[in-house]
Amino acid sequence: MSELIIKDLHVSIEGKEILKGLNLAVKTGEVHAIMGPNGTGKSTLAYTLMGHPSYEVTQGEIWFKGENILTKSPDERSRQGLFLAFQYPVSIPGVTVANFLRTALNSRRRALNPADKGISIPEFRKMLLEKMDLLKMDSKVAGRYLNDGFSGGEKKRAEILQMAMLKPEIAVLDETDSGLDIDALRIVSEGVTALTGPDMGVLVITHYQRLLNYIKPQYVHIMYNGIIVESGGPTLAVKLEEQGYDWVREKYQEPIPA
Ligand code: ADP
Ligand code: MG
């Protein structure tokens, strides 16, 4: 079993504290959702988990598979099996989806076993077609340049395909609000549902209550003002769906300074 443990995480951007002591643990086999209104620091958490240099960790720890990963590069984190869905959001003209995935897969395999010689082309092709089939993707996509001219839905599918191929132990999906249409929501949730099992844990970050119509997390956390203010099971998701975030704002609002 692998585990991502976030302890008392404080993160600043340009000197402004955004995360203010966040605690969370996600194990393989579990599906967690972090929900919260815009501007509460959800994406900041995702970028910090990835190791983005603009996000300064001023206090706290992030443990993954028994190691404190704060000093590790984004690449190292990914090779260790921590997957962040927006890790390669840019288009890479000249690099096909298949080539990109094969390179990524081989570096992950080498991280797990330094003697690994890399996956053979026939073996890779078989695996790729199998995963594309699982995600109902047109196999032609494999030969296209990564994200080059992809629609929002295609980018999402490519992300989920990457997840299927790399088999991360913990996957973090930041569903940023822009461009997340019903179609993309459905793709992400079908992918997550198809891929989750005892060997993978998922943390879905979103402000969309709607996502919960598609993904059924076992654990739901509400984030507000840089910390997790409530954690619960699926009933918390139902409450958010019915009541939105107004009650969260009222309950956890910072007192207005005199
Ligand atoms: P969420 O994903 O919950 O909507 P974010 O993590 O994107 O929230 O943002 C949290 C806060 O951090 C906001 O007040 C936002 O303006 C600020 N912020 C985010 N990114 C940056 C940045 N690169 N530079 C300065 N402030 C930022
Ligand atoms: Mg965000």
pLDDT in tens, 73-98: 988 998 899 998 764 456 777 889 99
Q: Is residue 48 part of a domain?
A: yes
Determine the Cα–Cα distance for residues 103 and 124; give it in Å rounded to an integer: 11
For the chain, what is the mean pLDDT?
Answer: 88
Q: Is the CB of 233 inside a 6 Å radius of any atom of ligand 1?
A: no
Question: What's the mean pLDDT in 102-119?
Answer: 92
Atom of ligand 1 nearest to the CA of 47: 6
Tens digits of per-residue pLDDT, 119-175?
999 999 999 999 998 888 889 989 998 888 887 778 888 888 999 999 999 999 887
Beta-strand (E) ranges in the chain? Answer: 3-13, 16-27, 31-35, 56-64, 67-68, 82-84, 92-96, 145-146, 170-175, 201-206, 219-224, 227-232
Domain that holds residue 189: 3-252
Taking the CA of 37 as reference, the closest ligand is: 1
Cα 132 to Cα 25, 98, 142, 164, distances in angstroms: 31, 11, 9, 9
pLDDT at position 72 over 50:
yes
Mean pLDDT of 43-71: 95
CATH number, domain containing residue 20 = 3.40.50.300
Residue ranges near ligand 2 (ion) with Cβ within 5 Å? 42-43, 176
Atom of ligand 1 nearest to the CA of 40: 3
**Per-residue model confidence as pLDDT tens digits over 179-193:** 556 777 777 788 888
Higher pLDDT, 24 or 254: 24
38 lines ligand 1 (CB under 6 A): yes
Q: Whose CA is nearest to atom 18 of ligand 1?
A: 13
Mutate which of 18, 205, 249 for ligand 1 pocket (most atoms within 8 A of beta carbon): 18
Does any domain span residue 151? yes
Q: Whose CA is nearest to atom 22 of ligand 1?
A: 13
Band (1; pLDDT cuts 50, 70, 90): confident
Residue 37 backbone phi and psi in degrees, to 5: -65, 165
From the alpha carbon of 176, which atom of ligand 1 is closest? 2
% pLDDT > 90, the chain? 57
Specify if 187 maps to a domain: yes
Whether 257 is in a domain gets the answer: no
Residue 205, token pair as written in the block: 């970050």
Number of structural domains the chain divides into: 1
- What pLDDT is recorded for position 92? 73
In a domain, 144, yes or no: yes
Place of tokens 């190791």: 51
Atom of ligand 1 nearest to the CA of 54: 23
Residue 134 falls within a domain, yes or no?
yes
Ligand 1 within 6 A of CB of 13: yes
Q: What is the pLDDT of residues 198-240, one digit of tens each?
A: 999 999 988 777 777 778 899 999 999 999 999 999 899 889 8
Please give the distance, rounded to the nearest whole angstrom, from the Cα atom of residue 116 to the centre of ligand 2. 37
Residue 258, domain member (yes or no): no
Say if 217 falls within a structural domain.
yes
- Ligand 1: nearest atom to the Cα of 226: 10
Q: Is 254 in the pocket of ligand 1 (CB under 6 A)?
A: no
* Closest-CA residue to 203 (of 29, 58, 9): 29
